[in-house]
Structure 1
Amino acid sequence: MFDGLQQKSIAKQAIFRNTRAAFDTLRRVSQELVVELSRKITPVDSNVLIEYRPVNDMEFHIKFSGDLLVFVMHSNIVTFPDDYGPMPSKYVEQDFRRRFFGHIMAYNFMADSIKYQRLNDPGYLVGRLLINIENHYYLEGVQQLELPDNDMADNLLTPDMMRLFVESAMIAAVNNDLIAPPMQDIQKITVKQKVENQQVSRGSKVGFSFSSEQHHPLNIDGLPY
């Protein structure tokens, strides 16, 4: 029992370090991409801003046009049901430590939702990057992402792969337009909505569709996360 707990704890710490290093790389390539895109678009239209915004060690934002991408590294290590994603693969089955992952999420919000603190506005999970003890990854998300052939045995984290993840998330966000609600749905509002500056006529993004059925992850102890 002690050996098993020790191995799992050591694996958990190693995966966390890998995930933190991956997030640092993701942060760096995002900054570089923002600089490149800004240099290209400013001569064309100086009113179009692309910004990198640091938040803390586990979160940063990219703002472009009316969209905001929020990249978040989670502090916990998770696992999944045996039939989900990479779990049934021979690569994962060969080593129990490969059953555990760090994870980085990319969410798409309307930039004004954050700017004006419209707390009821939704955000959308665009992609999730799973990272294991050997720095192999599994990328899942909306169909608009340029998802690789998800064989973890061949998928090693690289700066180029991280850049593709960011670029694809930006393209997915831009291509998913806002849809305004029908007029009959917004004929009345509450005083609370008015006081809190909630725009009930705001658009919502309905074009995202996911590449696979979503399951809830489990934490490292096998409990629902």
Structure 2
Amino acid sequence: MEDRLDAIFEGLKQKSSAKQAIYRNTKTTFDKLRTISKDLVKRLSQRVTPLDDTVVVEYRDVNELEFHIKISGDLLIFVMHSNIVTFPDDYDLMKSDYVEEDFKRRFFGHIMAYNFMADSIKYNRMNDPGYLLGRLLVNIENHFYLEGVDQMNLDYQDIEKNEITDENLLLMVESAVIASVNNDLMAQELDDIRKITVKQKLDNQQVSRTQKVGFNFSYEAGHTHD
């Protein structure tokens, strides 16, 4: 019994210690993303405002695990998840020799970047869709793995070579902004909006709900989703 308890204790101690270290790495990365995003918004605003002061470019802190970037009609929401995760053995990331060499490399903190229409949040249009642009996974050695929509045009899927730098984080934020503002809104077909329910009217829902053309998200080699 004591041997089994010792084994459980050692396993919990090692895993808990690793997860705490990964959380700290992820939080540091998220704070860097926050600083980089503030600076990017400042530089964009300085260029855009003199040309057209009606185009809004702004940054907003929400809490320690979330911040927003508003670019005209688009809202980018960056969120750090508070929990550490792992993946099934058949997930591409887990098949890496680098990951398989050390069990502590099987755990990740994760940061998500979502794209919403700014008016969806402003007017509380609860049924409007948002889109996941990218997910940044951070490990115990400050290596990262980036999954995202094809429109971000980034290839950071070799975690062994990917070390977190300010340059890589800036490229991620810039690419997310470009992907969101270049993806236009599509109106619904006329047949889809011929009727509106009383609930939609009372809930202040628009009769015609626009949505993004759509993003292609490749989360594993050979799998693409709209």
TM-score band, normalised by shorter chain: over 0.9
Helix, strand or coil at the partner of 1:78: coil
1:40-189 to 2 correspondences below 5 Å: 40-189=47-196
Distance 1:45 1:85 in 2: 45
Q: Distance in 2 between matches of 1:213 and 1:201?
A: 34
Following TM superposition, by how much is the alpha carbon of 1:121 offset from its aligned partner in structure 2, in angstroms? Answer: 0.9
Q: Percent identity?
A: 67
Question: Does the 8 A contact of 2:30 with 2:80 survive in 1?
Answer: yes
**Is the CA contact 2:91–2:220 (under 8 Å) kept in the aligned structure 1?**
no
Per the alignment, in what secondary structure is the counterpart of residue 218 of structure 2?
coil
SS of equivalent to 1:69: strand
In 2: Cα distance, 1:105 partner to 1:122 partner:
16
Going from structure 1 to structure 2, the CA distance change for 1:168 and 1:87 (only over 3 Å counts) comes to: same
> Residues of 2 paired with 1:158 and 1:148: CA distance?
15
Partner secondary structure for residue 108 of structure 1 = strand
Deviation at 1:68, TM superposition (A): 0.2
CA shift digits 1:19-71 (9 cap, x unpaired): 11100000000000000011111121111111001100000000011100000
Aligned-residue offset at 1:206 = 3.1
Change (3 A) 1:66 1:23: same
Deviation at 1:148, TM superposition (A): 2.6
1:96 Cα deviation after fit? 0.4
Residue 34 (1) aligns with residue 47 (2):
no
Give the corresponding residue for 2:4.
none
Q: Secondary structure at the match of 1:62?
A: strand
Distance 1:41 1:177 in 2: 20
Larger Rg: 2
CA contact (8 A) 2:125 2:205 kept: yes
Matched AA of 2:124: Q
8 Å CA contact 2:134–2:146 kept in 1: the answer is yes
Partner of 1:16: 23
What amino acid maps onto 1:117 in structure 2?
N
The 2-side partners of 1:157 and 1:200 are apart by 45
Aligned residues: 214
Deviation, 1:211, is 2.1
Higher relative CO (Cα under 8 Å, sequence separation at least 6) belongs to 1
Task: Give, as a single letter, the amino acid of the residue that structure 2 aligns with 1:150.
Answer: Q
**Residue number in structure 2 paired with 1:195:** 202
Report runs of 4+ in structure 1 exceeding 4 Å deviation.
none
Could you state the TM-score of these two structures normalised by the residue count of structure 1?
Answer: 0.92
Bigger helix fraction: 2
CA positional deviation for 1:213: 4.3
The answer on whether the counterparts of 2:86 and 2:108 sit within 8 Å (CA) in structure 1 is: yes
2:59 and 2:19 map into 1 onto residues whose CA distance is 30
Does the Cα contact within 8 Å between 2:152 and 2:175 map onto a contact in 1? yes
Cα distance in 2, alignment partners of residues 149 and 54 from structure 1:
27
Amino acid across the alignment from 1:148? D
User: Residue 204 in 1 paired to residue 211 in 2?
Assistant: yes
Structure 2 CA distance for aligned equivalents of residues 85 and 52 of structure 1: 35
Where structure 2 has 5 or more consecutive residues not aligned to the other structure, the ranges are: 1-6, 222-226
